[in-house]
Amino acid sequence: MTGQVLLDASFWIALRDSREPRHSQARQAAENLLRQRIRFVFTTFILAETHAYFSRSAAMRGQILDDAQRNPALRWEPVSHSDETAAVALLRQQRDKEYSLCDVISFVVMRRLGISRAASYDGHFRQFGGFEIVE
């Protein structure tokens, strides 16, 4: 589906953490996408990674949860058992790669939804191939 971009934890963290080196870049990219009425899609796995990053800050943990539950530009996509099974199979096929389970679930969900772009600073999205990376 056009009009959707996967919101990876690396991008979400850079967007919300002003101390991150790519914070300004992420803000500008997000603003450009929002002007195009793009919706950011994320999974529970991505939310968990992002939430864990901000675990020492109650305010930021709350902000991330507000993003997930209240921001109309974000869509929380459920991960199915089929997605999980496909992701594990992909990890087994590509043992030479250092993908995390979260990364591979993102790849599988993107394929299922027909999403061709990912907002990410994680090099594994480029390494996997087949997706346009928004930075």
CATH for 49: 3.40.50.1010
Number of structural domains in the chain? 1
pLDDT tens string 21-63: 999 999 999 999 999 999 999 999 999 999 999 999 999 999 9
Percent of the chain as helix, strand, coil, to the nearest 5: 55, 15, 30
Percent of the chain with pLDDT over 90: 87
Q: Which amino acid is at 50?
A: T
Q: How far apart are CA 42 and CA 32, in angstroms?
A: 18
pTM: 0.93
Chain centre to alpha carbon of residue 125:
10
Instruction: Tell me the pLDDT tens digit for each residue of 74-105.
Output: 999 999 999 999 999 999 999 888 899 999 99
- 101/99 Cα distance (integer angstroms): 7
User: Of 59, 52, 51, 50, nearest to 10 (Cα)?
Assistant: 50
Determine the structural domain holding residue 23 and report its residue range. Answer: 4-134
